[in-house]
Amino acid sequence: MNPSPTAAAAPARLSPSAILEVSHPITWFPPMWAFACGVVSSGALILQQWWLLLAGVLLAGPLMCGTSQVVNDWFDRHVDAINEPNRPIPSGRIPGRWGLYLALIWTTVSLVLAWFLGPWVFGAALLGMALAWAYSAPPFRLKGNGWWGNLAVGFSYEGLAWVTGAAVMLGGAMPDWRILVLAVLYSIGAHGIMTLNDFKAIEGDRQMGVRSLPVQLGVDGAARLASLVMALPQVVVIAFLFAWDKPAHGIAVTIVLLIQVALMVRFLRSPLERATWFSGLGVSVYVTGMMISAFAVRALMG
The pLDDT tens digits of the residues spanning 75-112 come to 988 878 877 889 999 999 999 999 999 999 999 999 99
pLDDT at 197 (0 to 100): 87
pLDDT at 163 (0 to 100): 92
84 lies in some domain: yes
Q: How far, in Å, CA of 215 to CA of 153, rounded?
A: 18
Q: How far, in Å, CA of 119 to CA of 18, rounded?
A: 34
Q: Are residues 238 and 185 in the same domain?
A: yes
User: At CB < 8 A and 24+ separation, what contacts does 234-239 make?
Assistant: 234/185, 234/189, 234/260, 234/286, 234/289, 236/185, 237/182, 237/185, 237/186, 237/289, 237/293
Q: How confident is the model at residue 13 (pLDDT cuts 50, 70, 90)?
A: confident
244 lies in some domain: yes
Q: How far, in Å, CA of 190 to CA of 33, rounded?
A: 13
Q: Mean pLDDT score of the chain, rounded to an integer?
A: 90
Asked if residue 1 has pLDDT above 70, the reply is: no
Q: Are residues 150 and 217 in the same domain?
A: no
pLDDT at 210 (0 to 100): 83
Range of the domain at 270: 176-302
Nearest alpha carbon to residue 107 among 87, 88, 90, 131: 131
118 lies in some domain: yes
Q: How far, in Å, CA of 98 to CA of 103, rounded?
A: 8
pLDDT at 162 (0 to 100): 95
Asked if residue 5 has pLDDT above 50, the reply is: no
pLDDT at 4 (0 to 100): 41
Distance of CA 49 to CAs 35, 42, 122, 127, 179, Å?
15, 12, 19, 25, 19
Q: How confident is the model at residue 10 (pLDDT cuts 50, 70, 90)?
A: very low
Distance of CA 14 to the CA centre of its chain: 27
pLDDT above 90 covers what percent of the chain? Answer: 73
Q: Are residues 57 and 23 in the same domain?
A: yes
2 lies in some domain: no
pLDDT at 6 (0 to 100): 43
pLDDT at 12 (0 to 100): 57
3 lies in some domain: no
119 lies in some domain: yes
pLDDT at 9 (0 to 100): 46
pLDDT at 190 (0 to 100): 95
Q: How many domains does the chain have?
A: 2
- Highest mean pLDDT, choosing among 120-124, 170-174, 230-234, 280-284: 230-234
